[in-house]
Structure 1
Amino acid sequence: MFEKGNRGNTLHGILLIALFSFAAFYISEIPFVRNLSFSPLIVGIILGMLYANSLRNRLPETWVPGIKFCTKQILRAGIVLYGFRLTLTQVVAVGLPAILIDTLIVAGTIGLGVWLGRALKMDKDTSLMTATGSAICGAAAVLGAEPVVKCEGHKTAIAVSTVVIFGTISMFLYPIMYRAGLLDALGNIGTAIYTGSTLHEVAHVAGAGNAMDPTDALGIAGTATITKMIRVMMLAPVLVIMSFALAKRKSAETGSTSGKSKITIPWFAFGFIGIICLNSFLQYILGVESVKEIPLNGAIEYIDTFMLTMAMTALGTDTSIEKFKQAGAKPFLLAGLLYVWLVGGGYLLTKWLVPALM
C-alpha cells in the first residue's frame, strides 16, 4: 500500500478523505445540523455517499488503496482511542440495574436480529451488522464489527443508515413520551436507564436526555449517558464472541471436518479495553471527577472523532444508489422490527428489573 512508487497515490486517497472529513466537521456545526444531533461521522458518510453517486467514477483507481487504508487501519485506531471517553468509574456510578439491562438489551437485540435476518432471508452479514449497530452504540459499533465480519463496504453503510434513521426518530420520540406521562411508571432513574439502554447513538442519548432534563436536576440526562457508556464498553467482548462465532459458522459452511477455522482476533478490541483501564487509572491518580478533566483527553477525543469520520466517509464513497437497490427494503424492515423490540421490550425490562434491583 505504501510501497515506493505507489506511496504518493495512496496519500492522495487519504488526503481526499481527510478533506471530506474537514467539511463534515464544518457542516456538523451548522445550527440546523447540530440541532438534529448529526455528528461529523453521520455527515461524513452522507458526503461520501453523495460523492459515490456523482464524481466517484472520475477518481483515479490508484487512489483506492488510500481510501481502503481509511476503512481499515484508521478505523481500528479510532475504535481503540474511543476508549479515552470511558472509565470504569462510570460503571460503578450507575450500578447493577444498568449493567444487567444493558446486557439483556445487547444480547437480545443481536440474537433477535440474527433470527429475524434468517426469517427474512437476508444476507447474513447485513443482518449481523444491522443488529450490532442497534444493540450497542450505533455507527461506532457497526464500524467496530466491520473488521471482524469482513463484509463489503456498502453493507456497512446500509447498517449505519438504519441506525441513523431510527436513532434520530428516538431522539424526538422519547422526550414526547416523557412529557406525555408515558414513562411515569419508570421513575426518573428508570427513565434514564431506559433511554441509555435502548437509543442507538451516544449523541441520540445525549439529545433525548437533555430534552427531558436540561439541567440534569432529576439525574436523567447524566444517568442516561452513563448507562449508554456502559453499553459502549460491551463492544469489545461482543466483538471477541462474534469472532469465534463467525469462525465456527465459516467452518460449518465450508464443511470442514476438523472443526477448525481461522479465527479473526479483534486485537483492537483489547486495545479499546486497555485504554479504558488506562483512563480509569489516570482518573484515579489525578483525582478528577469527569473524564473530560483528564489532561489531553479533549484533544484525543477530537482526533478520534476525526479518525472515525474519515472511516465513515471512506465507507460512504463505496456506497452507490445501485447497491442500496440491491439490498432492498429488508435491512430497513429488520432495523424497524429491532426498533420495536428496543422501545417495547426495553420498557418492560426496565419496568420489571429496576425496582427489583434498586
Structure 2
Amino acid sequence: MSHIDKKNLILGLALTGSIAIASIALGETHLMQQWGFSALLLAIVIGIVLGNSIFPRFASHCGDGVQFAKSDLLRWGIILYGFRITFQQIADVGVMGILVDALVLTTTFMLAYIVGTRWLQLDQHTSILIGAGSAICGAAAVLATEPILKAQSSKVAVAVSTVVIFGTITIFLYPSLFYLNQKIGPILSANDFGVFTGATIHEVAQVVAASKEMGDDIAATAMISKMIRVMMLAPFLVILSMWLAKSHDTHHAQRGKITIPWFALIFILVAGFNSLHLLSNSIIEILLTLDTILLAMAMAALGLHTHVSAIRQAGLKPMLLAGLLFLYLLFGGAFITMLARIILS
C-alpha cells in the first residue's frame, strides 16, 4: 500500500462509501423494495451516472480509493456474505433443493458458455459473466467471478445490466405463474414452486420481492433454495479457476498455474462458522450491514469505471444471450424441478 497516495485512497473510499450509503437508503424505500431493486443494483446505476458525467473531472484525485473498493473491498464483501447462510438452511430444504439448484446452475452456465461463445460469437469473458449472473446469484456472482477473469469493467457492467432487466421481469411474472399453476393443476406443488423460484430467479432481492406475493411458507422455501444456490458460488469459482488454467485463456494459462480464489474458500468457512450460531443476532446484523456497505461500494466503484459507450459497443448479443438464459431458467428450471421430484419420490 506504500505506493498508493493515502489522500487519494481516502477520497476514493469516501466517494464510493457515500454512493453505497445513498443506495442502501434508497433501497429501503417501499417503491424500490416493491420493484426488487437492491442496494447493489442501485449503487451500480448511480456509479454509472456519475462515471459518465462528473467523475472523470476529478478521477485523478480519488482513483486509488475507487480501485481499492472495486478489488479488495469486493473480496471482503463476498467473504462476509457467508453470514447470510447456514448449513441448517440447506438441511431444511433437503436433497430436493440441492439437486434442483445444482442441475439449474450447471446446465444454465454450460448453455451460456456454448451459446455465447459458439453461436453468438461473444467473447469468453462476457459469456462467463452473464452465465454466472444468470446461473447463481445475479450481480454478486458477476462481481465474484470478475477477479478470476480480470475482466474489463464494461463487460462486468453489461452482465450486471442483464441481471437488472431480466430479474425485474421475474418479480412480476413468477407470482402470476404461481397463481396460474395453483388454478390449473397444479403442475408444481406449492413447496416445489418455492424451490423452483429460489433456483431460477437471479438476485436475492428479486427472490424476496417475487416470493413474498406467494405466501410466507413459500417465501421461506424460496429463500433457502436461493441461499443454497448462493453457497454453490464458492465451488463454482474454484472449478472455473481450474478450468481456465487448463484452457487457452492467456490470463490463466501461464505454466498451467491455477488461481485458487481464496475469498471463495473463506466464504464457505464463514458460512460453516455461522452455522454454529456462536454470535448473537445483533452482531450478525452488524456484519450483514457491513457486508451490504462493502458490496455496494464495490458496485459503485464498478459503475464509476464503466463507460456507457463501451456497453453500447457490446450490442444486442449480450442481451440476447441473457434473454435465452431467462427462458431456459423459466421452462428448463420448471422441468428440472418436476424431474427432481419424480427422482426423489
Matches within 5 A, 1:112-151: 112-118=111-117, 119-151=119-151
Opposite residue 149 of structure 2, the aligned amino acid is: V
The residue number in structure 2 matching 1:289 is none
Task: Please give the alpha-carbon distance, in whole angstroms, between the structure 1 residues aligned to 2:26 and 2:259.
Answer: 37
Task: Describe how 1:189-200 pairs up with structure 2 within 5 A.
Answer: 189-200=191-202
Tell whether the 8 Å contact from 2:252 to 2:259 is kept in structure 1 after alignment: no
Q: 1:303 aligns with which of 282, 290, 307?
A: 290
Match of 2:213 in 1: 211
Distance, in Å, in 1 between the alignment partners of 2:186 and 2:252 is 53
Distance in 2, matches of 1:184 and 1:71, equals: 45
Instruction: Tell me the equivalent position of 1:44.
Output: 43
Please give the secondary structure, in 2, of the residue aligned with 1:184: coil
Name the SS for the 2:272 alignment partner.
Answer: helix
Q: CA deviation at 1:189?
A: 1.4
Cα offsets for 1:116-153 (capped at 9, x unmatched): 11110001101100000000011111111111111011
**Residue 241 of structure 1 corresponds to which residue in structure 2?**
239
Residue by residue over 1:190-241, the C-alpha shift from the partner in whole angstroms, topping out at 9 and shown as x without a partner, is 111111110111111111111011xx2xx21111110110000000000000
Change (3 A) 1:206 1:183: farther
Residues 207 and 7 (structure 1), Cα distance of their counterparts in 2 relative to 1, 3 Å cut: same
1:324 matched to 2:314? The reply is no
Letter in 2 for 1:345: G
Structure 2 alignment gaps of length 5 or more: none
C-alpha distance in 2 between matches for 1:16 and 1:224: 35
Task: In structure 1, list runs of 5 or more residues that go unmatched.
Answer: 287-292
Residues 174-323 of structure 1: matches in 2 within 5 Å? 174-181=174-181, 184-213=186-215, 216=216, 219-250=217-248, 260-282=255-277, 294-323=281-310
Pair 1:335 & 2:322 matched: yes
Give the CA RMSD over aligned residues. 1.8
- Would you say the 8 A contact 1:21–1:306 is kept in 2? yes
- Give the CA deviation at 1:52: 1.3
Secondary structure, aligned partner of 1:59: helix
Q: Do the aligned partners of 1:13 and 1:67 also contact (CA within 8 Å) in 2?
A: yes
1:326 deviation in Å? 1.2
CA contact (8 A) 2:149 2:251 kept: no
Cα displacement (A) at 1:113: 0.4
Deviation at 1:348, TM superposition (A): 0.8
Structure 1-normalised TM-score?
Answer: 0.91
Distance 1:63 1:93 in 2: 46
Find the aligned partners of 2:71 and 2:80 in 1 and give their Cα distance: 15
1:250 shift after superposition:
3.3
Distance 1:145 1:62, change over 3 A: same
Matched letter for residue 163 of structure 1: V
Partner AA of 1:243 in structure 2: S
SS in 1 for 2:212: helix
In the TM superposition, residue 99 of structure 1 has moved relative to its aligned partner by 0.4
Give the conservation status (yes or no) of the 8 Å contact 1:178–1:184: no
State how far apart, in whole Å, the 1-side matches of 2:59 and 2:90 are: 48
Instruction: Give the share of equivalent positions with the same residue, in percent.
Output: 42
**Are 1:199 and 1:205, in contact at CA under 8 Å, matched by a contact in 2?**
yes
- SS of match in other structure, 2:320: helix
Specify the alignment match of 1:349 in structure 2. Answer: 336
Between stretches 187-196 and 260-269, larger displacement belongs to 260-269
Structure 1 position 28, deviation (Å): 1.6
Residue 65 of structure 1: how far off its partner (Å) = 1.5
Q: Distance in 1 between matches of 2:16 and 2:42?
A: 13
Cα displacement string for residues 42-98 of structure 1 (whole angstroms, at most 9, x for unaligned residues) = 110000000011112212424211111001100000000000010000111111111
